[in-house]
Amino acid sequence: MATATPLVPPSFGRYLTEPAQRRWLAALPELARHHLGRWDLTRDGPTLYGHTAIVLPVRRADGAPAVLKLGLPHREAAHEALGLSLWDGDGAVRLLDHDADDWALLLERLDPHHSLDDEPLAAALEVVAALVRRLDRPAPAGVRTLAEIAERWAATFPLDNADGRVPAELVEQAVAYCRELGPTSAARLVNEDLHFENVLRADREPWLVIDPKPLSGDPEFGLIPLLTNRIDESDPVERLAWLVEATGADPDRARRWTFVRALDDWIDGEDDTNPAVAGAPRIARALA
């Protein structure tokens, strides 16, 4: 059923303030119309959106439901289509088509109104731990590497903390971990943004992962979103220990990478409504 609601909701993009981001936002309606026509799609409901992407419910030419996702070009999302194509629907949303130049993805439709965030914490953790194990596989060539990220952080953490927001001794500890762990990191396909709201109800399976941010590195690097989200429902250190056992992660690398990522969120974070930012100091101090 066609809809008269706007392709791009007026409230989308309020966090996008840089010139390149505003140019992308201005071009977004025409980009959406282009891909609706290109893939012979009919809108099937109001547009959904997050901070950096819109998702249009659509019907394909044969009437099958799908969604058209148009995302802001940014480094962390650069290999989303590649990761989804490698998982091929095994534990993750299925990629039906994509346009790498326009950052456009045609995806199977899941239930956007029911995520693991709606489930009791213990049940949600059981589901997500099983998905972590299913999604683990060798990383392909060409994706971002944890070694590169760690090298960059080792150089930039002290500079970015010039205002002294984070205690200097914690920054030094994070830099040391980056220099030690980065060069020896594994080459597994890791989703650095796997949290409860990014696991949705589905028809094909009970739960499927969406919106991955793939990189090549240690699986332990991807655990922190499962601590910062719903942080007040359990002790984050105890939750990390449970996740380590449930996923087969290395406990020492899990502790140290989680500490490093907490420092990154603490140094860079300005939005206290973001769970990663709000929980970062608590997690970093607990794991230091």
The full set of domain ranges for the chain reads: 19-112, 114-287
User: How would DSSP label each residue in 108-139?
Assistant: E--EEEEEGGGS-HHHHHHHHHHHHHHH--BP
Q: How many of the other CB atoms lie within 10 Å of CB of 51?
A: 12
Residue 215: predicted pLDDT: 98
3-state SS assignment for residue 52: coil
User: How would DSSP label each residue in 199-241?
Assistant: EEE-SSSSEEE-S--EEEE-GGGG-THHHHTTGGGS-HHHHHH
Q: What is the mean pLDDT of each run of 10 residues along the chain (288 residues)?
A: 75 93 97 98 96 96 98 95 97 98 98 97 98 97 96 98 95 98 98 97 97 98 97 96 98 98 90 78 95
CATH of domain 19-112: 3.30.200.20
Residue 15: predicted pLDDT: 86
Q: How many of the other CB atoms lie within 10 Å of CB of 19?
A: 7
Active site residue 193: yes
Task: At 72, give phi and psi (nearest 5°).
Answer: -65, 130
Which is the catalytic residue, given 44, 193, 211, 264? 193
Residue 2: predicted pLDDT: 46
Residue 272: predicted pLDDT: 66
Is domain 114-287 classified as CATH 3.90.1200.10? yes
